[in-house]
Amino acid sequence: MIEVRGVGQRVDGGRRTLRDVSLTIGSGELVAIIGGSGAGKTTLLDAIAGIRPPAEGEVRYDGDGTGKGGGNGRGLGYVPQDDIVHLEMPLRRTLRYAAGLRLPAGTPADRAGRAVDAVLEALALTGRAGQRVGSLSGGERKRASIAVELLTRPRVFFLDEPTSGLDPATAADLMRLLRGLADSGTTVVLTTHHPPDAAACDQVAVLALDGTLAFYGPPGAAREAFQADGIEDIYVRLAGAGEPHDWASRFGGAQDGGVRESGVQESGGRESGGGEGGSEAAGDAAGAPAGAFAQWALLTRRNLDLMTRNRLTLAVLGGSPLMVLAMFAVLFRPGAFSPESPSPGATVMILFWIAFGGFFFGLTYGLPQICAELPVLRRERLAGLRIGPYVLAKVAVLLPLLAVVDALMLGVLRGLDRLPALGWRTYGELLATLLLCSLAALALGLLVSAAVTDAVQATMALPMLCFPQVLFVGAILPVPVMAAPGRWLSFAMSNRWAFEGLGHTLGVERLWASGRSPLGPPLLGSYGDTFSRAAAVDWALLAGFTVIFLVVTGLILVRRTPNAP
Ligand SMILES: Nc1ncnc2c1ncn2[C@@H]1O[C@H](COP(=O)(O)OP(=O)(O)OP(=O)(O)O)[C@@H](O)[C@H]1O
């Protein structure tokens, strides 16, 4: 049972979108939230589901007051209005990954496969199983989105406009499926604009345009209360009923005690559906959900799968380092590090741009990762996904790629004599510094990606993140020469520690002091002891940045996604 008591919601700016909504949803009921466009249906659904907890009032599940249903990670299913499954992946594979997250730990592969086949069949999608989700029709995608949640049998199932974009026959089939789920014990709450959907439900919540609950009770009683021939007439009555706040008293349904007493039995809905489909499709939700390591492994596989499927992304990920390398090759002359004829100014720039390259690729690989996926994450959090494995699965896929890019950068610059001939040990140390630099930047990219709302904002953040890492690193203007606030800021630049670590390993102090260039000693004078610290200290600092950025990323995501029930 779900009890909604005095629930109100406000949006940014303080405007009220829901006002004092109280209603009780019985276990195994099929409930429709209806009302005009913008009345607050999604807002109410999200408040009840815990997606956006209400600003006022409370939602109690089974009287526990936690606002969370279930009792395990798979107690609650949520299907939002928009398509939020990965578009590049074939449908069956999407469902296999979803099954891995949602089915109990240790479910054998063939059993998961059967659960996937069953939902495909129940939602008439078997013929589309091999098709890319992005190439499905709108209605098929909607059903695919529902299929994900039907892999398990959630105790409570929320759907935002599940029948929008479906033809009447498919919509009726879907309602029959939901009826079947409800009959087998799942509480189903949905929003809809389709009168036949509401007529097939046990209860309808009618929202007036100001977010007031105008009525709550069985559809038959709603028609009586509004003196409407059909559900569609309710909209007409609401439109001509004066001030929104009068509606509740006028139609007498604002308090769920009132009309509800006329009883669930009055509902015409129970007769309308067969419902076996729902029972067949739903898998067995009993058993412990997948553990943190299993989630991490599954998400890592899925990330890799998604990355390799999107050729354009792969081309950008692989192509941009090659372009940057080509630019380095035409910009710098060979032999800048040669002790016989060093070029101290060029050595600073080579060091700086290598460090910045490592930083830039880490940042740009991280920035698009989470923002575009946040709706998927929200939904999977309700299914029991943990934030730690989610964030670490991003790192697991991108870090090896960054290692290749960094090694390539050092190898090619060495091969072209832009870097000096030193032993493997030196190059191992350089690679460690550069990879830690990339890792810290990747973590920063993930942090920003978790904080913004879309890919456009993430892209706009790029210059803001890069500029300080150029200006305050201490390469173009040495740290000892900076104004005091700039010097303080330079401590917060992860890139600074990579630049200095690289310089230490390559022995630039010695090269400038004793190399045969008159420019060396004055340069050393202005850079001071910039390069004297052991690289291990810089590694520790870079690792510290990484940990801080990843922890903050996790905290932001915990705040932005509902807790797993
Ligand atoms: N994040 C937000 N910021 C500002 N206003 C919002 C936000 N989310 C919702 N609203 C406003 O809250 C009101 C209710 O929105 P909601 O999406 O719940 O309506 P709805 O009844 O589901 O509409 P529709 O049938 O058109 O989907 C609308 O006026 C909408 O503009």
Secondary element (H or E) of residue 6:
strand 2-10
DSSP codes joined into one string, 392-461: HHHHHHHHHHHHHHHHHHHHHHHHTTSS----HHHHHHHHHHHHHHHHHHHHHHHHHHHHSSSHHHHHHH
Distances (CA, A) of 113 to 100, 128, 251, 316: 10, 16, 50, 34
Domain ranges across the chain: 2-82+157-281, 292-326+340-560
Residues 6+ apart with CB under 8 A from 515: 339, 340, 342, 344
Question: Which atom of ligand 1 is nearest the CA belonging to 207?
Answer: 21
Which of 363, 370, 393, 394 is closest to 557 using CA atoms? Answer: 370
Torsion of CA 104, 106, 110, 115, to 10 degrees: 0
Strand ranges in 36-121 using DSSP code E only, listed in sequence order: 56-61, 76-79
* CA–centroid distance, residue 43 to ligand 1 (Å): 6
Decide: 517 in ligand 1 pocket, CB within 6 A: no
Minimal-distance CA residue to ligand 1 atom 28: 38
Write out pLDDT tens, residues 336-377.
999 999 999 999 999 999 999 999 999 999 999 999 898 889
Write out pLDDT tens, residues 394-437.
999 999 999 999 999 999 999 999 999 999 999 999 999 999 99
- Best residue among 41, 159, 191, 193 to mutate for probing ligand 1's pocket (most ligand atoms within 8 Å of CB) is 41
- Best residue among 34, 37, 43 to mutate for probing ligand 1's pocket (most ligand atoms within 8 Å of CB) is 43
* pLDDT, mean of residues 44-73: 72
Residues 6+ apart with CB under 8 A from 81: 42, 160, 161, 164
- Domain 2-82+157-281 belongs to what architecture? 3-Layer(aba) Sandwich (3.40)
Minimal-distance CA residue to ligand 1 atom 6: 11
d(CA 2, CA 65): 10
Q: Report yes or no: 216 and 256 within 8 Å, Cβ to Cβ.
A: yes
Ordered alpha helix ranges (H), 200-343: 219-225, 231-239, 244-251, 257-260, 269-272, 276-281, 292-309, 311-331
Phi then psi for 167, rounded to 5 degrees?
-70, 160
Write out pLDDT tens, residues 292-331.
999 999 999 999 999 998 888 889 888 999 999 999 999 9
- What is the per-residue pLDDT for 76? 83
Q: Report yes or no: 449 and 367 within 8 Å, Cβ to Cβ.
A: yes
Question: Which atom of ligand 1 is nearest the CA belonging to 44?
Answer: 18
User: At what angle are helices 455-471 and 344-366 packed, to 10 degrees?
Assistant: 160
281 pLDDT tier (thresholds 50, 70, 90): very low
Q: For the chain, what is the mean pLDDT?
A: 87
Residues 6+ apart with CB under 8 A from 464: none
- What is the per-residue pLDDT for 475? 95
How would you list the strands of the sheet with 203-207, edge to edge? 76-79, 156-160, 187-191, 30-35, 203-207, 213-217
Per-residue pLDDT for 385 more than 60? yes
68 pLDDT tier (thresholds 50, 70, 90): very low
Write out pLDDT tens, residues 514-533.
988 999 999 999 999 999 99
384 pLDDT tier (thresholds 50, 70, 90): confident
Q: For the purposes of burial, counting CB atoms within 10 Å of the CB of 265, is it exposed (0-12), middle (13-18) or buried (19 or more)?
A: exposed
User: At what angle are helices 344-366 and 311-331 packed, to 10 degrees?
Assistant: 170
pTM for the structure as a whole: 0.82
d(CA 208, CA 37): 10
Structure tokens at 352: 């700086």
Decide: 453 in ligand 1 pocket, CB within 6 A: no
Distances (CA, A) of 149 to 48, 85, 266, 281, 343: 17, 11, 29, 10, 63
Write out pLDDT tens, residues 2-34.
999 999 998 877 788 999 999 999 999 999 999
